[in-house]
Amino acid sequence: MTTSQVGAAYERAAKENRAALVGYLPAGFPSKAGCIAALTAMVQSGVDVVEVGLPYSDPVLDGPTIQAAADRALANGTRIVDVLATVEAVAATGAATVVMTYWNPVLRYGVDRFARDLAAAGGAGLITPDLTPDSGPDWLEASDAHGLDRIFLAAPSTTDERLRLTADACRGFIYATAVMGVTGARAQTSSLAPTLVARLREVTDLPIGVGLGVSNGDQAAEVGGFADGVIVGSAFVRALLDAPHLEAGVAGCAALAADLAAGVRRR
């Protein structure tokens, strides 16, 4: 088994006495080239780990901001081959790059084929929000075969038994969803997050990234005070949605990444 690229990114951040910054955009949004430009700018401005979203027509866990971005990506004709091309381009920056996807597209593509092609593109692993470890034995096998990290989600409602099961199956980090409900930037971070992180620390030594809600450097500093990673998605999407043109959107993503990167450093 190769060394976890994602784990190494978290280790580098920990050595700097800070949380890792994880940034998300869906592939193909606002265009195929525009997504690569924005993600590259985010890495250059301080993002440690990149999540490339695979646009899906039924994103049940995503809020309206990410749904709007996914709809545009699908309208642009974004397919799995474009997701893999985005991964390849972003991984070339040196950032650990993972795909975040619902499970059905992976099943349709072929689990081992997807793992093989993701690894060939330089991808580090997969975040699977609607797949549990005990319902994905084929993914556990394929991720081992191709040296990929596998990142499952834990929620405040998850039982202690399932937290342990989830943690044991993860590699790279554990994705702690800080709020109940769909994704989206929020005015305040969740009060449930510190408790969930503390519960996870009882069952694992893996890094714990907290997502769903962070939108600025102050919130990143707050979450970085108790978590190993700060995950930001909707705020980056919003920077592109609200921009009058691509160049402004890319600049907005870079400025947001810089603000968040400064936040995790002053936790």
Catalytic residues: 51, 62
Residue 100's DSSP bridge partners are: 53, 127
**How far does the chain reach from its first CA to its final CA, in angstroms?**
33
- Separation of alpha carbons 81 and 120, rounded Å: 12
Say what the alpha-carbon torsion angle 251, 257, 258, 263 is, to the nearest 10 degrees: 150
- Separation of alpha carbons 235 and 213, rounded Å: 8
Please state whether the peptide bond connecting residue 129 to the residue before it is cis, i.e. omega within 30 degrees of 0: no
- Separation of alpha carbons 218 and 257, rounded Å: 12
